[in-house]
Amino acid sequence: MAITVVGSVAFDTIETPAGKRERCLGGAATYFSLAASYFTEVRVIAVVGEDFGANEEAVFQAHSIDTRGIERAAGKSFFWEGSYLENLNEAKTHNTELNVFAAFEPKIPEAYGDSEFLFLANIDPVLQRRVRLAMPQVKLVAGDTMNYWIKDHRAALLEVLKGLDILLINDTEARMLAGNNNLVQAARAVLALGPKALVVKHGEYGATLFRDAASRDEGARTFRAPALPLESVVDPTGAGDSFAGGFFGYLASQPEQTPAAYRRAMFYGSVMGSFACERFGTERLQELTRKEIDDRFNLFRELTHLD
Amino acid sequence: MAITVVGSVAFDTIETPAGKRERCLGGAATYFSLAASYFTEVRVIAVVGEDFGANEEAVFQAHSIDTRGIERAAGKSFFWEGSYLENLNEAKTHNTELNVFAAFEPKIPEAYGDSEFLFLANIDPVLQRRVRLAMPQVKLVAGDTMNYWIKDHRAALLEVLKGLDILLINDTEARMLAGNNNLVQAARAVLALGPKALVVKHGEYGATLFRDAASRDEGARTFRAPALPLESVVDPTGAGDSFAGGFFGYLASQPEQTPAAYRRAMFYGSVMGSFACERFGTERLQELTRKEIDDRFNLFRELTHLD
């Protein structure tokens, strides 16, 4: 089933202990789309500037990602520059230029109208909600957000949460959103805000899936997926968005979103997040095979299963 | 099979967001012994002062723990005072009084001589090595250490590591010991120092078991056990020692220490660590039943297994 994703398509300049790359193709919607494209059909809504050319377009095309919703505007694309020199778990931002993204008004191509799955990547919750309302036919909606929206745009974010089936955020964001440092209590508080499922990402320690009471009545349970202990983390940029792409892409590929499908989706999320870190930007996500993905899924199973 | 453990038996004054307890029975050897006692026979080597009375002795007796190796010395027992008011993951130490522990000379009762398992809790590596050498008959030796010994007593610690089958330490200690921030690389470097297995504890995120090349040739593999997402952490003191007790106690209870037994031992370690946090000091560890332990083991399985 097709996923429509709305979010940023950007250029990133990234420095890590492994080196530096100038103006890699990046942005949450890019990482998400590439990761999800290994599982299902993906359609993007974003805005880019005149610096987004044939090479960038080709990356999406090579994965049959529908780019008709990527608007070309006058000016430059969203640009981010950051480094992870002291701590691979936390980016230090050196420069953010919103450019054409500052005036982003998501436009949904008519051809996207039959998407049954919608992913609201980390953008202004006002825009997330607008896209959600414009796509009433979707049957499952997932989304991401970040500390900035949680702190300073809470009212708009709470409106988004009411319409979400699945929220994917990290530990710090979950604790901040709930105002509670205990993860179990924080998860319960976040689920009370609307989402039926909450995925809390723990970086190198994996991620935990929490389900609401109604889902638990149907056999869903709390589930923890590990992250792969990686010999070499070249660039953690986009690992969370790649997790979301693997997770939601797998769910969308399934005939039914059963509790067992959610658990496998957690593994596929971790799988895609682990691949994303192995090379700079989206390099590794661009060249995967489904066999590599399934081999790593099996590695995750061996890493966690007793027998 | 019987485990002999050498380490501290102490009194702790602990403050957490859940309250404050004065002079609880504590110490690494106490937590370890209680946790391991649910699986196998345990014998302690330690030193206590005149403040260690019938009530404290009774705690060990109630779990059939052999205390003939607990020497009574003139003076007071090791005392620690700490709090976890801002961060449940890291104790703030307010006071440490070594007292009788300052002159600790481990004495091994003859009756301990047939122990096949030895646990060297976190004490001066010179003493750890002395006990190890005095018990040449043991077939499996595990141990713990801490940042202080890693930084300032490295040569003595390296001697201990050469004679260890299993080292259990936390993330920070593993990275410090290896001088490498990447966990996989750090684990390989630590395994090159002697231990055949390394358990790295990640606090609320669980623990990872790394095996050396020879063990991997025999079918052992890297294995990650989760921690239980806990609704309420009353007191994290001793969680790591309780993990070690559950882990090593389970291993010692098995006829063979197969790779599969190591994986189940990781779960039992996490199980005992999670119980330890539920009440102050050793309170929860004192009153468990084997059924509660196995129920929680099954909960860990549900938390991590796809089917």
**Which residues is B69 bridged to in the sheet?**
B45
Q: What is the pLDDT of residue B86?
A: 80
How many residues appear in chain A?
307
Residues of B in contact with A302 (CB under 8 A): 221
Mean pLDDT of A11-32: 97
Q: If you measure CA to CA, which chain A residue comes closest to B302?
A: A223
- Is B185–A301 a contact, with Cβ atoms under 8 angstroms apart? no
Give φ, ψ of B256 to 5 degrees.
-135, 145
CA A173 – CA B238 distance, rounded (Å): 29
Distance from the B67 Cα atom to the nearest Cα atom in chain A, whole angstroms? 35
- Is A184–B231 a contact, with Cβ atoms under 8 angstroms apart? yes
For residue B232, pLDDT beyond 90: no
- pLDDT band at residue B154 under the 50/70/90 scheme: very high
Q: What is the pLDDT of residue A67?
A: 98
Residue A229: which of B183, B303, B304 has the nearest Cβ? B183
Q: What would the pLDDT profile of A121-163 be if each residue is shown by its tens digit? A: 999 999 999 999 999 999 999 999 999 999 999 999 999 999 9
- pLDDT band at residue B233 under the 50/70/90 scheme: very high
Residue A303: which of B181, B224, B306 has the nearest Cβ? B224
Which of helix, strand or coil describes residue B195? coil
CA A17 – CA A277 distance, rounded (Å): 13
**Which residues is B3 bridged to in the sheet?**
B42, B117
* Helix ranges, B49-111 (H): 54-62
Residues of A with CB under 8 A from a CB of B: 88, 181-185, 187, 202, 204-206, 208, 221-224, 226, 229-233, 260, 263-264, 267, 301-307
CA B28 – CA B4 distance, rounded (Å): 13
- Is B221–A88 a contact, with Cβ atoms under 8 angstroms apart? no
**In this structure, what token pair is assigned to residue A37?**
């494209």
- Is A305–B306 a contact, with Cβ atoms under 8 angstroms apart? yes
Mean pLDDT of B287-299: 97
Find out whether A111 and A134 touch, Cβ atoms under 8 Å.
no
Distance from the B90 Cα atom to the nearest Cα atom in chain A, whole angstroms? 14
Q: What would the pLDDT profile of B72-92 be if each residue is shown by its tens digit? A: 999 999 999 999 998 888 899
CA B223 – CA B226 distance, rounded (Å): 10
Q: Which of A33, A30, A110 lies closest to A77, judged by CA?
A: A30
Q: What would the pLDDT profile of A51-82 be if each residue is shown by its tens digit? A: 999 999 999 999 999 999 999 999 999 999 99
Find out whether B8 and B77 touch, Cβ atoms under 8 Å.
no
DSSP string for B221-263:
--EEEPPP--S--S--TTHHHHHHHHHHHHHHHSSS--HHHHH
With 0-12 / 13-18 / 19 or more C-beta atoms within 10 angstroms meaning exposed / middle / buried, residue B173 is buried
Q: What would the pLDDT profile of A193-224 be if each residue is shown by its tens digit? A: 999 999 999 999 999 999 999 999 988 999 99
Residues of B with CB under 8 A from a CB of A: 88, 181-185, 187, 202, 204-206, 208, 221-224, 226, 229-233, 260, 263-264, 267, 301-307
Give φ, ψ of B70 to 5 degrees.
-90, 105
Residue B302: which of A184, A221, A233 has the nearest Cβ? A221
Percent of chain B whose pLDDT exceeds 70? 100
Q: How would you classify the pairing of strands B42-48 and A66-72? A: unpaired
**Which residues is B16 bridged to in the sheet?**
B19
Buried b / exposed e over B63-77, threshold 16 CB at 10 Å, is: bebbbebbbebeebb
Residue A222: which of B184, B222, B229 has the nearest Cβ? B229
Find out whether A249 and A205 touch, Cβ atoms under 8 Å.
no
Residue A231: which of B185, B208, B221 has the nearest Cβ? B185
Model pTM above 0.90: yes
Residue B306: which of A88, A184, A301 has the nearest Cβ? A301
Find out whether A31 and A12 touch, Cβ atoms under 8 Å.
no
Q: Which of B300, B304, B285, B195 lies closest to B245, judged by CA?
A: B285
Q: Which of B121, B116, B118, B120 lies closest to B137, judged by CA?
A: B116
Distance from the A195 Cα atom to the nearest Cα atom in chain B, whole angstroms? 19
Distance from the A181 Cα atom to the nearest Cα atom in chain B, whole angstroms? 9
CB count within 10 Å of CB A241 equals 33
Q: What is the pLDDT of residue A86?
A: 81
Which of helix, strand or coil describes residue A74? coil
Q: If you measure CA to CA, which chain A residue comes closest to B186?
A: A231
Q: What is the pLDDT of residue B282?
A: 98
- Mean of all residue pLDDT scores within chain B: 96
**In this structure, what token pair is assigned to residue B119?**
């646990």
Q: What is the pLDDT of residue B90?
A: 84
- Is A304–B202 a contact, with Cβ atoms under 8 angstroms apart? no
Mean pLDDT of A4-26: 97
Q: What is the pLDDT of residue A39?
A: 98
Mean pLDDT of B229-258: 96
DSSP string for A220-283:
---EEEPPP--S--S--TTHHHHHHHHHHHHHHHSSS--HHHHHHHHHHHHHHHHHHTTSSTTH
Q: What is the pLDDT of residue B206?
A: 95
